[in-house]
Amino acid sequence: MRNVALVVLALIVASLGVASAAPAGRVTVLCSPNPAWCDAVKAEFPKATGLQVDFVRLSSGEALARLRAERQNPSFDVWFGGTGDPHIVANEEGLTEFIRPAAWNDLRQEFREAVAGKYIPLYAGILGWALNERLLQEKNLPVPRTWKDIADPRYRGLIAYPNPNTSGTGYTMLATLVQIYGEKAAFDLLKAIHKNVAEYTRSGAAPGQLAGRGEVAVGITFIHDAVDQVLKGFPITYNAPSDGTGYEIGGLSLVKATPNRANALAFINWALTPAAQGLAASDGQSYQIPSNSKTPVPSTSPRFQAFKVIKYDFVKYGTASVRDGLVKKWTTEVFPLPK
């Protein structure tokens, strides 16, 4: 009789929906956006799913290096955010696996087409500058308008640029200049800009922070990171070069060898909901264009139509041979040059 009673009790619980609650467990996330956004995800994901989440925050280039190092025994289930080029490399090298999430048809078509099934689009952001115009005025310098302007020796010591070895933002600039000018002219320009660089940062947001503090006049960064500094009250403006600029389509990828696939998929599907994507601006201090067409675009998000944005070739410049070749060339031909 006791066994029968237990069975009946189980059936009653199931009928109330308790037995269908989200499965217990955890998901481990490699998180590449603004740390505040990672923190917001960690706070809200368990409330929505019943699963716990752990994350390590690494810039895009560092995240790719970590996945490569852990190829045989990955410690992550999902890679959340970061520029698209290294997500494509990870997919090409078998480190991640493309899957179609539940919200696939709701994601912006232009984002889906641009990444060609290599990863899931999470957001988009435009490459540009954080400008400390007060410092420029003190130095009696004009506000730069083009990439070639910031190569002018008058800006010596006034530029901050993310290192493309560690930062997806830095690689986006490198690939952008190659697409605008061609490889030889782009590297000649990078060598000239190098003489003006006060600091190569590890992360893409850091140049905007340096501009906000008045340590440099021009911080090369994604414009949404400059918006974050403006909203925090720092005395900067933002713009993008009038001769053209690139952009990112931030990625979301399933780590291929994870044994925790079910929980990883639960995280991916949740991360693409309007409620989850809304955390970026509301709690995460991140102002990109969300990939889900049903997610309201924050009023503070930089719009593509406001800038001269090139047709960035994500597939070509996300190819491992192209990306690694350009980064190696920059590291050997630009970075060691005297200033």
pTM listed for this prediction:
0.90
pLDDT of 4:
36
Cα–Cα distance measured from residue 201 to residue 207, given in angstroms and rounded to the nearest whole number: 7
Average pLDDT over residues 123-149: 98
Contact status, residue 126 vs residue 249, Cβ threshold 8 Å: no
Cα–Cα distance measured from residue 315 to residue 157, given in angstroms and rounded to the nearest whole number: 34
Residue 117 structure tokens: 């099934």
> Percentage of residues in the chain with pLDDT exceeding 90?
92
- Say which range, 15-19, 210-214, 329-333, has the weakest mean pLDDT: 15-19
Indicate if the pLDDT at residue 13 is higher than 90: no
Residue 110 structure tokens: 């232009």
pLDDT of 284:
84
CA 193 to mean position of chain CA atoms: 24
pLDDT of 337:
98
Contact status, residue 36 vs residue 224, Cβ threshold 8 Å: no
Give residue-wise pLDDT tens across range 233-274: 999 999 999 999 999 999 999 999 999 999 999 999 999 999
pLDDT of 15:
32
pLDDT of 266:
97
Give residue-wise pLDDT tens across range 20-38: 333 459 999 999 999 999 9
Cα–Cα distance measured from residue 118 to residue 125, given in angstroms and rounded to the nearest whole number: 18
Longest dimension (CA), the chain: 91
Cite the residue boundaries of each domain of the chain with CATH code 3.40.190.10.
Answer: 25-124+248-301, 126-247+321-333
Cα–Cα distance measured from residue 77 to residue 113, given in angstroms and rounded to the nearest whole number: 25
Give residue-wise pLDDT tens across range 193-233: 999 999 999 999 999 999 999 999 999 999 999 999 999 99
What CATH number is given for 25-124+248-301 in this structure? 3.40.190.10
Give residue-wise pLDDT tens across range 39-66: 999 999 999 999 999 999 999 999 999 9
Residue 262 structure tokens: 């079910």
What CATH number is given for 126-247+321-333 in this structure? 3.40.190.10
Average pLDDT over residues 288-312: 97
Q: Which helix (H) or strand (E) holds 101?
A: none
Indicate if the pLDDT at residue 180 is higher than 70: yes
pLDDT of 271:
98
List phi, psi (to 5°) of 101.
-75, 170
